[in-house]
Structure formats: C-alpha cells, structure tokens
A = this chain, B = another copy of it.
Amino acid sequence: MIQIGIIGCGYWGPNLIRNFSELDDATVVACCDLSEERLKKIQKRHPAVLCTQHVEDVLRNPAIDAVVIATPVSTHYPIAREALERGKHVMIEKPLADSSEHALDLVERAERHGRILMVDHTFIYTSAVRKIRELIDNGELGDIHYFDSVRVNLGLFQKDINVTWDLAPHDLSIMDFLLRRDPIAITAVGASHAGNNIANMAYLTLTFPDNLLAHFHVNWLAPVKIRLTLIGGSRKMVVYDDVEPTEKVRIYDKGVVVNGSSEKRYQALINYRIGDVLIPKLDATEALQRVAQEFVSAISQSRPALTDGIAGYRVVRLLEAAQTSLDNGGRPVELNGAMLGSVETARSTACAQ
C-alpha cells in the first residue's frame, strides 16, 4: 500500500484526494495547504487524513512514499526537489516547473535517486486523446498536416502566471503526445487587458519539418467555452471537441488528393474527397483516475510513467520559448530538437507495460 501526501488542496486538490483514495493499492495519508478553511473541509470528509499547513510535515514524514504537488507553479521546483532528495516519488501538476532548467534538474534528480517523477498531463489520459493517438499510430490519418487548437473561456485570471503557462500545457502536451515530432521554431503573440502585464490571451505557432504546422489559441477573456482541436491528415481529419459530453472525437473521411506530374509541378491537379464521418465510442473512465493509477503503477513496477519528467520537460521547454517570443513581440524563436530519442525510449517502455 503506497502512502501518499498531497501538497496543495486548491481547485484541483479535492479531485486528487478523491481519485487517489479510490485506488486499491494507495492511501492518502496527509494533505497540506496554507488555507485553514480548506483543510477543515477536507478533514470533515476524510477524518483519518493528517491535515497540515506545514509542507515539512509531509516532506519529512518517513511514512509517506510519494507526494502529489498541486501548488502554484513557481513553487513546484523547490518542493519537488526536496521531496526527491528525501526519497519520495513525485507527481506534479502541469506544468512540471517554471523553467526548463528546473524541469531538467528534477528529471536528473529523480534518475539519480531512482524515484518516479511524473507530471499530470491529464488530457493524455482521456479516452479521446488515446483514440486519436491510436488513429495516428494505425496510419488512419496519414501524414499529419496541421494541429490547430482553441482553448478559450471566461477563465480564472491567474496572478502568478500568464494564460500560456496556465492553459497551453494542456494543448502542448496533447500535441507532443500525438505528433511525437520536434518543432523547428515557435512564435507567440499575446495581450494583457487587466492592467497587470500578464497576458490573458495568446496565440502560439509551432513550425515543424515537412510543412507541419501547429497553432494554439488560449484565452481567459472569451465569452464562450471552446475547446476544439482540428487535426488535418493526408488521409483523414479529426475534430476533437472536448466540450461535447459524449461525441468528443469525429473522424472525417475528407481531404484532397493531389495528382501532380513531374513536368507540371505547379499545376497539380487537386481532387476533393468527401466521405462518411465516424464518431467512435469512447470509454467513459475519468482521466484523473487513470492518472492516479499510472503514478501508483509506475512506482510499483519501477518504470517510467507515461507522462514522465521528460514529457514534462518538453512542454516546459516550449512554454519557455513561447515566453521568449511573447517578450519580443512575436519574433520566431528557434528550437533545436534534442532529447526526442530519450523520450521515445522512455515512452515506449511505459506503453509496453
């Protein structure tokens, strides 16, 4: 039975407690938050759990095997570092850290101490994203031409991070999981309308080899809730609408067929193909339940988690580059695509379980 301590019990905290509590092979033994009021509510529902305002009570508790960190982003690194140093397995809410340097440092520490480091990229564990990954792996979509994502809402204006660091980790992690490609460059433009210089809307564009383009619109100041991803493939195209209650993924047998000839390369003949639409049945399991299970299984089986530290690092690296572009008025920032090998290795191990 793995003993778990949860640090940070705000918006997402109760969901983490509930999902870890329901696992057979884990128990939540401690919860930590600065807010007395929150702890009171938790204590009422979970009388057996140690509730504390002092993070040391969790980190220095030898009975605790693993910690889940759901605190503000800037505190992810120091808390996770100490937890790893004290021999605990660590799961961190997205994004993994506030800089790629911190992210890499955590990856290395976890490796050194033989501890699991996992990031909660929740959407990777949804049935929708898994189904799309399956379609890509099966070759059903063909070559991917573009990945277009919109995640907008009248959302909570954060004080410590801008909308990119808040919302884009979801979409960048989905993209990275699906495409498994390294971008060449990233551009980001945003704007702040609350008088605090914290961007509340931003557009990110990632260019890849082979004319693959990825684009993201994140926005806290939108009148409607849209979570829509278009994935254009050479054979089929997918619309992933996360707002739909049951029909989240639609597969369109639609596209163009180019009949080019070598001589007349600029006069390629284009035919349009419009076929059926398929809405596949998706498993209704809650993603966070799978997240909790994956963390616990990775610990038990001593194997990297599906969304391990490297996956977390990759997203942080993109956020950091986006921030640089944002700070420079949308100037493209080049990325060099190291590390793919190691991620692939790590992931293929995880997937094979």
Verify B331–A331 contact, CB threshold 8 A.
yes
Verify A256–B45 contact, CB threshold 8 A.
no
Partner of A330, one of B148, B205, B239: B205
Assembly CA distance A196 to B259 (angstroms): 11
In the complex, which residues of chain B have a beta carbon less than 8 angstroms from the beta carbon of A276?
Answer: 278-281
Verify B270–A252 contact, CB threshold 8 A.
no
The chain B residue with its CB closest to the CB of A208 is B191
Write the nearest CB–CB distance from A295 to chain B, whole angstroms: 21
Verify B191–A221 contact, CB threshold 8 A.
no
Verify A212–B191 contact, CB threshold 8 A.
yes
Verify A330–B154 contact, CB threshold 8 A.
no
In the complex, which residues of chain B have a beta carbon less than 8 angstroms from the beta carbon of A330?
Answer: 185, 187, 205, 207, 330, 332
Verify A159–B256 contact, CB threshold 8 A.
no
Indicate whether A11 reaches chain B with its CB closer than 8 angstroms: no
In the complex, which residues of chain B have a beta carbon less than 8 angstroms from the beta carbon of A148?
Answer: 217, 219
Partner of A234, one of B187, B193, B281, B332: B193
Which of A61-69, A72-80, A222-230 touches B?
A222-230
Indicate whether A85 reaches chain B with its CB closer than 8 angstroms: no
In the complex, which residues of chain B have a beta carbon less than 8 angstroms from the beta carbon of A247?
Answer: 277
Write the nearest CB–CB distance from A24 to chain B, whole angstroms: 12
Assembly CA distance A145 to B220 (angstroms): 12
Residues in A161-185 with C-beta less than 8 Å from chain B = 185
Indicate whether A260 reaches chain B with its CB closer than 8 angstroms: yes
Assembly CA distance A278 to B192 (angstroms): 27
In the complex, which residues of chain B have a beta carbon less than 8 angstroms from the beta carbon of A243?
Answer: 245
Assembly CA distance A223 to B249 (angstroms): 12
Partner of A185, one of B258, B280, B329: B329
* Contact surface of A with B, Cβ cutoff 8 Å: 45, 47-48, 145-146, 148, 150, 152, 154, 157, 159, 185, 187, 189-197, 201, 203, 205, 207, 211-213, 215, 217, 219, 221-224, 230, 232, 234, 237-239, 243, 245, 247, 250, 252-256, 258, 260, 265-268, 270, 272, 274-281, 329-332
Q: Give 20 CB contacts A-B under 8 Å.
A: A47-B47, A146-B219, A150-B150, A152-B230, A154-B255, A159-B267, A185-B329, A189-B213, A195-B258, A196-B266, A201-B232, A203-B203, A205-B330, A207-B329, A221-B255, A223-B230, A275-B281, A277-B278, A277-B279, A330-B332
Known: A191-B212, A222-B237. 4 other contacts (CB 8 A): A145-B201, A146-B191, A157-B270, A223-B237
